Amino acid sequence: GKNMIVYNEKQKYFNLSNKYISYIMNIMDNGQIGHLYYGNKISENISVSHMFRQRGCILAPCTYRNNLDFSLELMRQEYPAYGTGDYREPAYQLRMKDGSRITNFIYKTHKIYSGKKKLEGLPATFGDEKDVTTLDIILEDSLINCQVILSYSIFEDLPVIVRSANFINMGDNDLYLERALSMSIDFFDSEYDMVQLDGAWSRERHVHIRKLEKGKQSISSSRGASSASHNPFFALKRKNTTETTGEIYGFTLIYSGNFIAQSEVDDYDVTRAMIGINPFEFEWKLKKNESFQTPEAVIVYSNSGMNGMSQTFHSLFKNHLIRSKWANKVRPILINNWEATYFDFTEESILKIAEKAKSLGIELFVLDDGWFGERNNDSTSLGDWDVNYKKLPNGIDGLATKINDLDMMFGLWFEPEMVNEISSLYEKHPEWAVSVPNRNMTYGRNQFVLDFSNDEVVEYIYNKMADILNCGKISYIKWDMNRNITEAYSKILPNNRQKEFFHRYILGVYKLYEKLTTAFPDILFESCASGGGRFDAGMLYYAPQAWTSDDTDAVERLKIQYGTSMLYPISSMGSHVSAVPNHQVSRETSLKMRGDVAYFGTFGYELDVTKMSDEEISEVKKQIEYFKNYREVIQLGDFYRLQNGENGRFAWMCISKDKSTAVVAFYKVLAQPNPSLKKICLEGLIPYGEYYCEETKETYFGDELMNFGLICETEFTGLIQEDSYKGVYHSGTDKGDFTSFVYTFKLK
């Protein structure tokens, strides 16, 4: 894999390339690193001198007295600083002992090697010697005796570059890092639209697209979590880029805390794209010989539209980020008791639900909130991870055994990062709750956040959880996190290091995940933050799936799952069929539609199966049987978005890697009067292959389905009067609001 990265000694440039992409940067005249090109693959041994060309400007501040052509204001750079002529936002900033913040990090040396190193304390992509090559560029500021190592890795089989930076203080004086982003790239022009995923609780990751304008466009979080407001992702796409054609660059951060993602268009239409830890409320003290590692940024290039970008992210995450042994395995169909019972259950009522679920074909029973301490409502007992024997006289152990005896797996809910005021933990350790001494503590969901920047707290929670998990009968954990941080302050940090709190907090969360996943490698972890409040690549490293949203309404889920699929694989999206009227929006949708939407994820149920009618029971059995037959295609195949909800119609599909089986779904939100005929063009089929559709009982050629398309069900067009007394329905298989159809195609 070594030949994926070459250094041209004569022209002083680095070329990272594989069969899809080239990423080219150079050592500029001042010793700093310039950015020349990132995009479609170009020849490895080109003369890139013409790419160095710059424009002068009479007013630009110049690095060299007699060279008007070399001004950092006009240069495209790779990891820019502020203060020596470049007035755009910098990638990093350091404060020195004398209060100055001017630095000069210049090229010292570089290393190219196969494979890639782990990032200490942080989630990151991985790969072995065969499929990934890494370049470390070592830059040094000799005045302050500090180094920054810029690391770049390229994967052999994906159009992806991953990047991070590591600051090392080798001098005698303390340094303060005030800003340390993970990546910055200066693109040649600004003819892009910015794609982002925004929302709020129960309407996470809706797609928003806006044109790049002069100045800055950014999304960020300062909640202590990546947040439901903005996902730590953005993309820059050409105006004419669609789902299947055109250029797009996608960026994400493998991090679960405060972030910023920004595009800045300067006076000369250069676009600076950057992503990293949010500099707001951040600072890091570096003593002699200490280093600071930024999280890893992922940069994807696609010239086959947004689907191309998404499939690259999906593939990277499944094969090079998710460490769990569940990464490329189909997931068990689960039932969660939460919407069936809330806090009000006994061992007996739980077993009734489990027995019924087993008879339907469900494989995993998950016991949600309410099994510990005195937890009969949400005002008490968080932090007291001891089983409530009043509800469960035989303990978790006993209940798990009974569920295992039904030949079902057993799973359990935790909220490890939180504590209630009414709890024995808070009585013993009030100082473990995040708060500022003598100030009001803001309430959120009747709970406080534990100080995970304190190792003692992490260790305590680990031991409590391990005690329960050591019974060996637990196959799955739902790790919830239901409130964001307020009054950010740690009792264990000195007063001049309080701005380290947010990053140290998330490192503590990672530390607990690391300890648990190492000690219990067979457990399937699902992360959750009131649904999708911390659905990010950092979490995926430890937990291969996340609860996509607390909103389980089939209609709302279309937008949520559509947006989430921009970068997260289908197998990472927790998706359940829940009761109607829906508990979040009070809408009624058919059991069929709820199932058809939930198929495209991990799939499971969150309702009281003991209260279902015979008709519902037989439908659920059919759903489960269908899903078991096709979950490999859905969870491990390639995913394509086909229709994005304009006119209230969504469509998407999954196709097996060998293209022999495809599952296609079409959803209509609201009925229209006297509608036109609709069709969907499929993607990814073998053009000359003959595909039999089980639902239409017809055979089609792949190219026919991709180019002409599949004509959708005939919609209802109103009553046709036969005589004045009795109306006759016009035939139409697609009647009313909230309808869905799933088609299964098999290569003959």
What pLDDT, in 10s, does the model give residues 700-739? 999 999 999 999 998 988 876 666 666 666 678 899 999 9
**pLDDT value of residue 66:** 81
Q: Copy the structure tokens of residue 123.
A: 């989630």
670-699 per-position pLDDT tens digit: 999 989 999 999 999 999 999 999 999 999
Tell me the average pLDDT of the chain. Answer: 96
Q: Is the pLDDT of residue 1 over 60?
A: no
**pLDDT value of residue 437:** 96
**pLDDT value of residue 68:** 80
574-632 per-position pLDDT tens digit: 999 999 999 999 999 999 999 999 999 999 999 999 999 999 999 999 999 999 999 99
For 580-586, the CB contacts below 8 A with 24+ separation are: 582/551, 582/552, 582/553, 582/554, 583/339, 583/552, 584/202, 584/550, 584/551, 584/552, 584/553, 584/556, 585/551, 585/553, 585/555, 585/556
Confidence class for position 210, pLDDT limits 50, 70, 90 = very high
Question: In degrees, to the nearest 5, what angle opens at C-alpha 99 toward C-alphas 148 and 183?
Answer: 30
**pLDDT value of residue 717:** 82
Helix (H, G, I), strand (E, B) or coil at 476: strand
Q: How far lies 118's CA from each of 4, 115, 164, 522, 732, in Å?
A: 20, 10, 11, 22, 58
269 is an active site residue: no
**pLDDT value of residue 638:** 98
Q: Within 10 A of 694 (CB to CB), how many other CB atoms are there?
A: 11
**pLDDT value of residue 727:** 60
**pLDDT value of residue 729:** 62
Catalytic position from the list 368, 369, 384, 480: 480
166-177 per-position pLDDT tens digit: 999 999 999 999
Alpha helices in 520-600 (DSSP H): 537-542, 554-564, 591-598
Residue type, 191: E
Distance CA 30, CA 63 (A): 8
Torsion region of 178: left, alpha or beta (phi above 0 gives left; psi -120 to 50 gives alpha): alpha
107-161 per-position pLDDT tens digit: 999 999 999 999 999 999 999 999 999 999 999 999 999 999 999 999 999 999 9
Confidence class for position 54, pLDDT limits 50, 70, 90 = confident
**pLDDT value of residue 3:** 86
Closest among 718, 720, 722 to 736, alpha carbons compared: 718
- 265's enclosing H/E stretch is strand 259-265
Share of the chain above pLDDT 70, in %: 98
Alpha helices in 250-387 (DSSP H): 305-320, 338-341, 347-360
Catalytic position from the list 368, 550, 553, 596: 550
Q: Is the pLDDT of residue 469 over 90?
A: yes
Torsion region of 397: left, alpha or beta (phi above 0 gives left; psi -120 to 50 gives alpha): alpha
Q: Within 10 A of 655 (CB to CB), how many other CB atoms are there?
A: 23
253-270 per-position pLDDT tens digit: 999 999 999 999 999 999
Considering only CA atoms, give the Rg of the chain: 27
**pLDDT value of residue 723:** 63
Q: Which sign does the torsion angle of CA 50, 52, 57, 62 carry?
A: negative
Q: Is the pLDDT of residue 747 over 80?
A: yes
723 is an active site residue: no
> Across residues 381-406, what is the average pLDDT?
97
Q: Copy the structure tokens of residue 511.
A: 């530390």
Q: Is the pLDDT of residue 50 over 90?
A: no
Helix (H, G, I), strand (E, B) or coil at 369: coil
Backbone angles phi, psi at 347, to 5 degrees: -60, -40
Closest among 169, 151, 152, 148 to 161, alpha carbons compared: 152
Confidence class for position 44, pLDDT limits 50, 70, 90 = confident
Whether this model's pTM surpasses 0.95: yes
Residue type, 497: R
> Across residues 499-503, what is the average pLDDT?
98
**pLDDT value of residue 730:** 67
How many helices (H) does the chain have, and how many strands (E)? 12, 41
Q: Copy the structure tokens of residue 626.
A: 């269908």
**pLDDT value of residue 731:** 72
Q: How far lies 611's CA from each of 325, 579, 665, in Å?
A: 36, 10, 28
Top-confidence residue, 68 or 584: 584
Closest among 608, 573, 616 to 592, alpha carbons compared: 616
> Across residues 370-389, what is the average pLDDT?
96
**pLDDT value of residue 248:** 98
